[in-house]
Structure 1
């Protein structure tokens, strides 16, 4: 039976994040939305998306949720592909920023939140007009209610490096070389913590790697699925 893929997007992202990616043929793909205000609850959503072992794919907050799923059930994760993320615990200034964004959403200023987060999604914080419009459409499809849940979930994050050390599966870590939100150093630390990881640095990509380098994401998924299947 081909291994299913469980795919988790980042904050203010939905399944359209992966629309340019070619998933391995013959493998069922389960998209998990980020709609609950707790990392543990979101990890449970990942683990109940399918039965048995699966390949976990996550970007940013989605990868952080995946790290918690790995901590809870390492035997279920047959392969791992993560990108544009951070396995460290949140810093005080991040808590303050999330609280500020939540207050804006609560005050009916979701547009301000979208515009404030937009530059960090693109290489060197310099979006093209088309890229910016695409991000705005995706963020509004997620909407303010889910955004507040995601901000609450961010505040429940924990350091995930101990969980990464429990992984016994093949893994690929993708890093955008021009990602100002989660720079390459974050990904080298993640790859070092995972016992069977390979890192791929993409010099021209920013944070939204599946949009900016769908070819590299597609290749990484083929690599992880092939290695996980061989095991």
Structure 2
């Protein structure tokens, strides 16, 4: 069976995927630590040989879009979770620049409320643990990478494999409209909107995310 490469979001590590039900075949949990989206895409491409399915969350999906641009023939299926295919907005660039210069713990505390549908979610400590393990150096590289991203709708439109887009309707960072645009751009795109869910779907809704990945691997469907 084709392996699946799981690509986490900013300030997240492999624990993001820990609650998923067991998946068939080889599962590779990629790291994204380079200071550009292109460098991160090369990290993903070098994580496994040959063809693979790719599932990314937030920045991980943005990296996935770049993988589609560089090597679409290697991607058997693509899952985009809680993400944005647009270019950075001026206010985002200003925010990332400010965050890169600020105290790391203060920035993590600033970001935390937007991670979950419920601001006081019991999953908060899981996110804080991941952020602590990522640390300020990699976080600054991830902020730098965010600033290098470009609009990805051309890469999505040119990809002929199945694209499954998953979002929560209470995602404060990436609203449903972002995901509608991605699914509509993909020739084989399909959108799934989860009621009452926020940004970190593999933690909030692991069973649903796991089922989506399993269908992508087994049937190329979602």
Paired positions, count: 221
User: C-alpha offsets along residues 29-72 of structure 1, whole Å, 9 cap, x if unaligned?
Assistant: 11111211010011011111111110001000000000000000
- Partner SS state of residue 174, structure 1: strand
Check the 8 A contact 1:170/1:227 in 2, yes or no.
no
Other-structure match for 2:135: 143
Other-structure match for 2:13: 14
Measure, in 1, the Cα distance between the counterparts of 2:125 and 2:2. 35
Other-structure match for 1:64: 62
Measure, in 2, the Cα distance between the counterparts of 1:22 and 1:5. 14
Identify unmatched segments of 5+ residues in structure 2. none
Deviation at 1:82, TM superposition (A): 1.1
Equivalences for 1:61-100 in 2 at 5 Å? 61-100=59-98
Check the 8 A contact 1:5/1:30 in 2, yes or no.
yes
Other-structure match for 2:120: 127
Measure, in 1, the Cα distance between the counterparts of 2:63 and 2:187. 19
Calculate the TM-score normalised by the size of structure 1: 0.93
Calculate the TM-score normalised by the size of structure 2: 0.97
Check the 8 A contact 1:15/1:31 in 2, yes or no.
yes
Measure, in 2, the Cα distance between the counterparts of 1:115 and 1:200. 29
Measure, in 2, the Cα distance between the counterparts of 1:226 and 1:173. 17
User: C-alpha offsets along residues 3-27 of structure 1, whole Å, 9 cap, x if unaligned?
Assistant: 01111000000000001112422x1
Other-structure match for 2:105: 111
2:169 pairs with 177, 189, 196, which one? 177
Measure, in 2, the Cα distance between the counterparts of 1:98 and 1:23. 36
User: C-alpha offsets along residues 133-170 of structure 1, whole Å, 9 cap, x if unaligned?
Assistant: 22111110111111010000000000000000111111
- Partner SS state of residue 123, structure 1: coil
Please tell me the root mean square deviation across aligned C-alpha atoms, in Å.
Answer: 1.2
Check the 8 A contact 2:31/2:44 in 1, yes or no.
no
Check the 8 A contact 1:23/1:221 in 2, yes or no.
no
Other-structure match for 2:44: 46
Runs of 4+ aligned structure 1 residues displaced above 2 Å come to: none
Measure, in 1, the Cα distance between the counterparts of 2:7 and 2:22. 14
Deviation at 1:115, TM superposition (A): 0.2
2:197 pairs with 192, 199, 205, which one? 205
Measure, in 2, the Cα distance between the counterparts of 1:29 and 1:186. 28
Measure, in 2, the Cα distance between the counterparts of 1:51 and 1:131. 34
Measure, in 2, the Cα distance between the counterparts of 1:165 and 1:139. 33
Identify unmatched segments of 5+ residues in structure 1. none
